[in-house]
């Protein structure tokens, strides 16, 4: 699919379809669009890895993530304190309420 997108981006079909309403066509650079998409995905992955790493280290969400929660939103009432693997299919969790 990516190869098909790159072939389409290299063809002359993109600038001709870039005009709306019969006005002058603005050149749309498909490489910029794909680079923006890749940058957005990369940013989301880095943020997810930072959150997962901080949560793994401390056992709770990082403090800067709590500030993103809307003001007045209730905090989590149930918290997992410790988890142990009982078997291949079962975990035992110690929770705090």
Nearest to 80 by CA among 54, 53, 58: 58
Greater pLDDT, 20 or 61: 61
Percent of the chain with pLDDT over 70: 57
Range of the domain at 43: 29-96
Residue 10 lies in a domain: no
| Mean local confidence (pLDDT), 67-88 | 78
Residue 43 has pLDDT above 50, yes or no: yes
Residue 3 placed within a domain: no
Sign (positive or negative) of CA dihedral 74, 78, 83, 85: negative
Answering whether pTM is above 0.75, one says no
* 50's tokens: 């930072």
86 within a domain of the structure (yes/no): yes
The count of structural domains within the chain is: 1
Asked, for residue 46, whether it belongs to a domain, the answer is yes
| In a domain? residue 5 | no
């Amino acid at each position: 699919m990516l190869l098909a997108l790159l072939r389409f981006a290299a063809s002359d079909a993109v600038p001709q379809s870039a005009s709306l309403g019969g006005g002058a066509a603005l050149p749309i650079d498909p490489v910029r669009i794909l680079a923006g998409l890749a940058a957005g995905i990369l940013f989301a992955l880095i943020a997810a890895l930072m959150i997962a790493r901080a949560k793994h280290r401390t056992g709770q969400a990082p403090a800067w993530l709590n500030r993103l929660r809307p003001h007045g939103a209730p905090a989590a009432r149930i918290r997992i304190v410790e988890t142990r693997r009982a078997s291949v299919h079962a975990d035992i969790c110690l929770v705090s309420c």
